[in-house]
Structure 1
Amino acid sequence: MLLVVQKFGGTSVADADKIKAAAARAVKAKRLGHQVVMVVSARGKKTDELVGLAAEITETPPAREMDMLLSTGEQESVALMAMAVQTLGEEAISLTGGQIGIVTDSTHTKARIRSISTDRMRQALKQGKIVIAAGFQGTDEDFNITTLGRGGSDTTAVALAAVLQADVCEIYTDVEGVFSTDPRMVETAQKINRISYDEMLELASLGAGVMHSRSIEFADKFRVPIRVRPAYSDAEGTLIAPEPADHLPVVTGVAFVRDEARVSLSKLPDRPGVMQVVLQKMSERKIPVDMIIQDVGDGGLAEVSFTVPQNDLAETLTAAEAAIEELGAGEVLHGTNLSKVSVVGAGMRRHTGVAAQMFQALCDAEVNIGMITTSEIKISVLVSRDQCEKAVHAVHAGFGLHKEHALTPPLGQSHAASPTGATFTNEEWETDVIAKLSSMEDIVVSDVCLDREQSLVTISNIPDTPGIAAALFSANAKADVMVDMIVQNISHSGLAHLSFTVPKAQLQTSLEITRAAAEQWPTTELNSQDHIAKLTVSGIGLRSHTGVGERMFHALAEANINVQLINTSEVRISTVIDLESGEAAHRAVLDAFGLEG
């Protein structure tokens, strides 16, 4: 007998017929001998309707009362679903978040889970009932109703699957599964049969849209297998699970965020503590900063650029001006009408030339690159918004993602072990997970790594035109140079600056071939640093917790350590520092996050 959590989104319960269809799916699983917990969202446009009603009353509704109002949407859905299940001859019980025992903090409209009690659900399941849980909601310690924010029902479903040690969490939606890119833009997009947590987290946060990143964070932390399935058929959908040991695709998918804005702080003093001040001002305003880039300083001055959602630009500029005022130097610049295009794939770790292949595809499509940032499994570029669709098509085709993927083997054993591999009883597992839920939401850094075996290559004053990055990295790829961090900041003068790291053993090879490739641009200057260290902070939820970067750079500033280079992803922040400062930096950041060395 399996324990299955089934989550149904708003489009899957939009009307009576769809509610009945969802109920029939749960009943079928129950009659196969499984215990079933359903998590249900508000029906269709119900949330929008409630938001509209509130707007007719007041332009500034109190957050507490908005939670009280919006939670009624799920309460309606679970009651109707329980009725539908009972008409099919099975017992069911509908429960609100508070009745389940989901306790959150008191941050209305975007609360974080603190604990979940499983007693009532376990009792109902033992009685043979289908438990129907309201997604998106809980209560704080004063019994105020709270909501979990965007993607809250997905978060509820995966969190319940974690504490109940469910065998699988099924997310029913109005699409076939997770695709290699948005099929509404690229008709040849293929359904992905299996994807790892890290890949899905990058795709979810970068605009894939099928699931919200916070629910993937829970799944990754507690190894909950998720299957994204269509509500309208019996198709298997996409399995989101731990990364397999082999057969990793080099590139799994292409994600894009259409409406991005870029903010640059130029002429900053190149000294310790600058980034900490910048990120502190952003964190104070809960601005979701993305694609953070700092390139190598010049003449005692540095420049930092980052992207934010277009709608957050005005608030971001205010925060940036506050940072400049506190630092006593600098200038704020910005750009709009931009899009971010990213490729994601766990196989990148083992293959050279992935960046070159992406940049060549963009070059062939005559798409110019404004900024570049990378991680082990992701490469992101900033392009003009009017070239977003062309860029996505080019990169998707360039990696052959229009071809059908291999079939995924069926889900194997239940995740009856902890993330560390220890076997738990149900009661021990629940105690362990419940104890960690708070730290899951608050302390997200899992590893701080120091790499002393890399060198830095910097190319200055290269023309800001399509094809430059393709030429440089194709040359390195042909020589089998393993390029790691790639950073290109925005160009303000028609000339760009690009930096990348390579293994020390390959530095001279890289310099020779890069110099030869750059001979066609007479303004180019090539420099290198052999003695650097790369310090990387990894974890789950770096994007959703705006204070992680601030804490990291505050620790480095307190240790009087300057940062030469920065790039970021959804699960990693990487910096280049002086080699002699490596050990001190490593210890300072470990201490900042309470980790052992």
Structure 2
Amino acid sequence: MSLIVQKFGGTSVADTEKIRAAARRAIRAQQQGHRVVMVVSAMGKQTDVLLELAAGVCERPPAREMDMLLSTGEQTSVALVAMAIHDLGAKAISLTGGQIGMKTDNSFSKARIRSIDTVRIERLLDEGNIVVAAGFQGIDDDLNITTLGRGGSDTTAVALAAVLGADACEINTDVDGVYTTDPRILPEARRVDVISYDEMLELASLGAGVMHSRSIEFAKKFSVPIHVRSSFGDRDGTMIVAQAESESAAVSGAALTKDEARVTVLGVPDVPGISRTIFAAIAAQKIAVDMVVQNVGEEGKADVSFTVAGNELASTLAAVQSIVDQVGASGVTHDSKVSKVSVVGLGMAKQKAVAAKMFRALADAGVNIHMITTSEIKISALVPRDQATQALRAVHEGFALHERPADAKTWNEIKAETNVEADVNDVVSRLQNDALEALTLTDIAVVGGQARVTLDGVPDRVGVAADMFDEIGRAGIFVDMIVQGYDGEHGSTSVSFTIDEAELEDALKVAKEICDKHAMRNVRSAKGITKLSVSGIGLRSHTQVGTVLFDQLATADINVEMIATSELQVNVVIDSTKANQATERLKTAFADALS
């Protein structure tokens, strides 16, 4: 008999009528022949109420007691849902996180799942029950109640689907699927039938609120199909699986991260170890860094730019200022009024001029670009915050995301073509090693035979990036990494891009024409460089990856020329003569995480 895990968020169980509606949906699935596990969040705003209560009695509540308190929200919900199911004539039993056998570490408020014992759930399902499990919580080795942090109920649902070998994990929420962008910002956004794990991971990291990236990591790792649908209707929704909706479309979605802040460390010596020192100081303050851009140094100096959440700017500046003298930087600049617009798509890795198309769309809309960073399936540009919505609409229209691609496939078509069943034995074996939520690296790879072109003195004005990459695209040159930092004090910046070494001569010819057209300062280039990529699942939630990478390279006296990051990869450019040494060091350092 097939098994379905159904997750219901807080808005889906916000009152008694919605609780009964959720109960009816679970009963209907059981009547259709499925075994059903429900994962339920706290009702509506109940978590906020509990937080207010805690603040009223204690200025700094102990983390353990906060987890004890917040876990009661889900316990209320599961009991009420089980009661509703009984009242509607079916069998159900409610279970806390500890009762479903979810073991975590002891990191209160942000615990990681270590293992799940499914024996009790399986027995209860075999007895004809709908199992109603509390999301967001587990227990540690000392039987303390722990909570999983933001998106915890999604994480619980997908983890249970993985260990139980479920046919699908339904995420019942207040939206009817995944859209090409936030429909609250752009009403013309289109609901997609299918989106890939990788695309959804990138979109989730960019603030797409449908699901938290941690739950997508689980699904990708254990091949769990996720069905995002509305709690309040029967529309099909969106399937999140390994395949993309379309093979021809370069871009599947666009996202806006509105509240960003940019920090640039100016004039640091272009020597090994600088990036490690800068980002170690920030990591020590538990600040999550988003876009990271290090461009090629000029006259022995380089600029390092990165973005953080706007509310963490002050803490970030304090951390950076504390190491300015240590790294020999000439200064620090920042901008608190910027936003990040991004496009995501598996197809862009195989198509030329995708970046040029995005930059042209922004230029035509009169939007200036402050920073650029790219990965294989994502391009991000930092733009003025007062132009953020304008920028999102421009790229959404530029890639015609409101239109369904001609070759778009439904979930049933993809399922018929591929084997998407998870290997339950593989999941169980990894559980025995407490590896359910461990960092999983899929590859440490080098792309050799590369060259780099850098344009210095690029004017900070609308349309320059579009002109540059339009010309490069017309020349038929395939660009890999693109990095643009930011130096608002001088009214100009530098842009670097990597290409196949065989195309360097053609690229330099185009670059010099661009340099003359826009009165840039000069063009530089280099052969014999290699892109080193660390790819995997959980790079954002396991923040030590970047620190370990920079530490290993610095210890080996290997200089980093360029940096670009994404949800799925950390990319650096280094001298090709150091590539083998760097790869071996990283494979040793990450041996436990390599799959």
TM-score of Structure 1 vs Structure 2, range by shorter chain = over 0.9
Report the alpha carbon displacement of residue 523 of structure 1 after superposing the two structures with TM.
3.2
For each residue in 1:451-474, what CA deviation from the matched residue of structure 2 results, as whole angstroms up to 9, or x when unmatched? 112110100112110111100101
Partner of residue 447 from structure 1, selected from 443, 450, 475: 443
- Identify the residue that residue 369 of structure 1 maps to in structure 2: 369
> Is structure 2 residue 275 aligned with structure 1 residue 271?
no
Q: How does 1:349-360 map to 2 (within 5 A)?
A: 349-360=349-360
2: CA distance, partners of 1:75 / 1:134: 6
Which residue of 568, 582, 587 corresponds with 1:571?
568
Q: 1:573 to 1:393 in 2, by over 3 A?
A: same
- Distance, in Å, in 2 between the alignment partners of 1:248 and 1:177 is 22
User: What residue identity is the alignment partner of 1:342?
Assistant: S
User: What is aligned with 2:391?
Assistant: 391
Residue 314 of structure 1 and its aligned partner are, at CA, apart by 1.7
1:145 maps to 145
Structure 2 counterpart of 1:455, which letter? A
Distance in 2 of aligned mates of 1:330 and 1:513? 33
SS at match of 2:150: coil
8 Å CA contact retained: 2:264, 2:487: no
Q: Partners in 1 of 2:128 and 2:208 — Cα distance?
A: 37
Which one-letter code corresponds to 1:85 in the other structure?
I
Q: Which one-letter code corresponds to 2:468 in the other structure?
A: L
Distance 1:2 1:481 in 2: 50
Once residues 135 and 325 of structure 1 are traced to their aligned partners in structure 2, the CA distance between those partners, rounded to angstroms, is 47
Residue type at the aligned position of 2:356: A
Change (3 A) 1:319 1:442: farther
Query: What is the CA distance between 1:327 and its match in structure 2?
Result: 3.1
- After TM superposition, the structure 1 stretch with the greater mean CA deviation from structure 2, 288-297 or 53-62, is 53-62
Where 1:233 maps in the other structure, the secondary structure is: coil
TM-fit CA distance, 1:150: 0.4
1:291–1:568 contact (8 Å) kept in structure 2: yes
Deviation of 1:61 after TM superposition, in Å, equals: 1.4
Matched pairs, number: 589
* TM value normalised by structure 1: 0.96
Q: Which residue of 1 aligns with 2:504?
A: 507
Q: CA RMSD in A?
A: 1.7
The answer to whether structure 1 residue 548 and structure 2 residue 545 are counterparts is: yes
Change (3 A) 1:363 1:244: closer
Kindly state the Cα deviation for residue 480 of structure 1 after the two structures are TM-superposed. 2.0
SS of residue in 2 equivalent to 1:97: coil
Alignment partners' CA distance in 1, 2:245 and 2:39: 32
The 3 A distance-change label for structure 1 pair 268 and 440 is: farther
Q: Distance in 2 between matches of 1:385 and 1:369?
A: 11
Aligned residue number for residue 421 of structure 1 = none
CA distance in 2, matches of 1:258, 1:101: 39
Alpha-carbon distance in structure 2 between the residues aligned to 1:180 and 1:329: 41
1:412 maps to which residue?
415
- Is 1:71 equivalent to 2:71 in the alignment? yes
1:206 positional shift: 0.4
* 1:484 to 2:493 alignment: no
Name the structure 1 match of 2:33.
33
In structure 2, give the amino acid aligned to 1:266.
L
* Distance in structure 1 (CA, Å) of the matches to 2:271 and 2:449: 24
Q: Following TM superposition, by how much is the alpha carbon of 1:305 offset from its aligned partner in structure 2, in angstroms?
A: 0.9
Q: Which runs of 5+ in 1 are unaligned?
A: 419-423
Give the direction of change, closer, same or farther, for the CA distance of 1:23–1:543 in structure 2 (3 Å limit).
same
Matching residue of 2:557: 560
CA distance in 2 between partners of 1:187 and 1:107 (Å): 40
1:337 equivalent in structure 2? 337
Q: 1:430-445, aligned counterparts within 5 Å?
A: 430-435=427-432, 438-445=434-441
Q: State the identity %.
A: 52
Distance 1:440 1:87 in 2: 36
Long gaps (5+) in structure 2: none
Q: Which aligned pairs between 1:234-383 and structure 2 lie closer than 5 A?
A: 234-243=234-243, 247-327=247-327, 329-383=329-383
Q: CA deviation at 1:331?
A: 2.6
CA contact (8 A) 1:280 1:547 kept: no
Q: CA deviation at 1:86?
A: 1.1
4+ residue runs over 4 A deviation:
413-418
- The match for 1:210 is 210
Measured in 2, the distance between the counterparts of 1:192 and 1:445 equals 28
Q: Judging changes above 3 Å, is the alpha-carbon distance between structure 1 residues 126 and 310 closer, same or farther for their aligned structure 2 residues?
A: same
C-alpha distance in 1 between matches for 2:436 and 2:458: 44
TM-score, normalised to structure 2, is 0.96
1:523 alignment partner, one of 503, 520, 523: 520
Instruction: State the shift of 1:409 in Å.
Output: 3.6
User: What pairs up with 1:528-543 in 2 under 5 angstroms?
Assistant: 528-543=525-540
**Secondary structure in 2 aligned to 1:530?**
strand
